[in-house]
Amino acid sequence: MLSDKMEKQLYEHTNAEFYSAYLYLSMAAYFDSVDLAGFANWMKVQFQEEMFHGMRFFEYIGHRDGRARLDAIQTPPVEWDSPIAVFEETYKHEQAVSARIHALVSLAMQENDFPTNNFLQWFVAEQTEEESTVKAILKKLRFVGDSKSALLMIDQELAGRVFTPPASTAAIT
């Protein structure tokens, strides 16, 4: 059973994951509007990942006899100056999500909530990967600068991304 404080923090984070999905879908719409279909695809896959993350939290709360509460989702930005600006925001956002996960881990450790700590470890690893992936794309974008041909090559690379849910969600139960 979750403590009231842990339950509240988990459902607040669930909502944050759904905001992340909404943010990335907005970024996909931006990329579609500037004819960068590969970038849009990357963000649509990111949207799917964030929805999956939100649902993992939602289900976990229920498995621990809690009840998730869904709050209104903040309206995300809709305009950016460039693909670099989008990925700079993405990187900052992923760092903020990592900080939220780390705070949840700290709370679980303070409360000796071993099941929640175990559940969260998957997200600690996932966030490390998320930050690394976004940082690598951002480095490429900064490297190519204003080169349209290089931007189109990155666009083609990002078009190949597909959403593959993890094989096991055993940490939920």
Please, is 118 exposed, middle or buried when counting C-beta atoms within 10 Å of its C-beta (0-12, 13-18, 19+)?
A: exposed
- Residues 10 and 60 sit within 8 Å (Cβ to Cβ): yes
Task: Supply the range of the domain harboring residue 138.
Answer: 4-172
Domain count, the chain: 1
What is the percent of the chain where pLDDT is above 90?
Answer: 95
Residue 156 CA to residue 161 CA, distance in Å, equals 10
In angstroms, the Cα distances linking 170 to 7, 108, 118, 161 are 20, 19, 11, 25
CATH code, domain carrying 45: 1.20.1260.10
How high is the pLDDT of residue 172? Answer: 55
Residue 31 CA to residue 79 CA, distance in Å, equals 10
How high is the pLDDT of residue 71? Answer: 94
Q: How many residues are there in the chain?
A: 173
User: What tens digit of pLDDT does each residue of 11-28 get?
Assistant: 999 999 999 999 999 999
Average pLDDT, the chain: 95
166 Rama sector, left if φ>0, alpha if ψ -120 to 50, beta otherwise: beta
* Chain centroid to CA 62: 21
